[in-house]
């Protein structure tokens, strides 16, 4: 089984574990590739998406399911939900090691990095948002306070600095 098939199977298994139904539809009139309806616990995806678009959209919509997002009449609330969904998807679709390799190869070109990682550019940008580099150290999902981060990577020790 290829890596892309593994990603597809993993995301579909995740949807199943959440009790979320995945259906395919023509969403062109909505001008989007996917949507999540919390009331029916259904993800609708556009027919015929390329594999890296499918994985990115599916993971993004799964994030809405995980956080039980519902559309709001307030733009800032929707923007926060969309940002959080992209960041959640990025953490599930991109490993730090794969990102590091792609960034070294493509010199920071987010389009090239996205293709190499099998995701869309928005997911790469979301991954970059959750990284903080201070000197020769990268922190994943840093927060206020000492020791408040998910992962700390010393680039010199990792052979990157």
Range in 18-22, 31-35, 38-42, 147-151 with the lowest mean pLDDT: 147-151
Three-state secondary structure call for residue 44 = strand
Cα torsion for 20, 25, 31, 34, to the nearest 10°? 20
Higher pLDDT among residues 7 and 152, named by residue = 7
- Specify the higher pLDDT residue, 120 or 134: 120
Q: Indicate the angle between helix axes 51-66 and 75-93, nearest 10 degrees.
A: 120
Task: Output the pLDDT for position 153.
Answer: 74
How far is the C-alpha of 125 from the C-alpha of 97, rounded, in Å? 16
Residue 81 predicted with pLDDT over 80: yes
**Angle ∠(91,11,118) on CA atoms, nearest 5:** 60
For residue 1, pLDDT over 50 is answered with no
The domain over range 3-92 is classified in CATH as 1.10.10.2910: yes
Question: Which whole number is the average pLDDT over 114-133?
Answer: 91
Look at residue 160 in the predicted model and tell me its pLDDT. Answer: 55
pTM over 0.75: yes
User: Under a CB-based contact definition with an 8 Å cutoff, are residues 34 and 43 in contact?
Assistant: yes
Residue 155 clears pLDDT 80, i.e. is over it: no
- Tokens representing 71 are 């559309």
pLDDT over threshold 90, residue 67: yes
Contacting residues for 156 by C-beta, under 8 A, at least 6 apart: 136
CB atoms under 10 Å from CB of 60, counted, come to 27
Instruction: Tell me what the pLDDT averaged over the chain comes to.
Output: 89
Intervals of CATH 1.10.10.2910 along the chain = 3-92
5-25 mean pLDDT = 95
The three-state secondary structure class of 145 is: coil
């Amino acid at each position: 089984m290829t890596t892309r098939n593994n990603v597809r199977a993993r995301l579909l298994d995740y949807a199943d574990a959440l009790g979320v139904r995945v259906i395919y539809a023509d969403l062109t009139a909505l001008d989007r590739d996917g949507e999540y309806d919390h009331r029916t616990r259904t993800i609708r995806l556009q027919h015929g998406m390329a594999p890296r678009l499918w994985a990115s959209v599916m993971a993004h919509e799964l994030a809405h399911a995980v956080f039980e997002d519902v559309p709001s009449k307030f733009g800032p609330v929707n923007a926060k939900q969309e940002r959080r969904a992209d960041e959640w998807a990025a953490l599930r679709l991109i490993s730090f090691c794969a990102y590091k390799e792609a960034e070294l190869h493509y010199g920071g070109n987010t389009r090239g990095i996205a293709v190499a990682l099998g995701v869309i550019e928005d997911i790469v940008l979301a991954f970059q948002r959750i990284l903080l580099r201070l000197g020769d150290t990268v922190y994943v999902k840093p927060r206020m306070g000492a020791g408040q981060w998910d992962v700390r990577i010393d680039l010199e020790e990792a052979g990157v600095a």
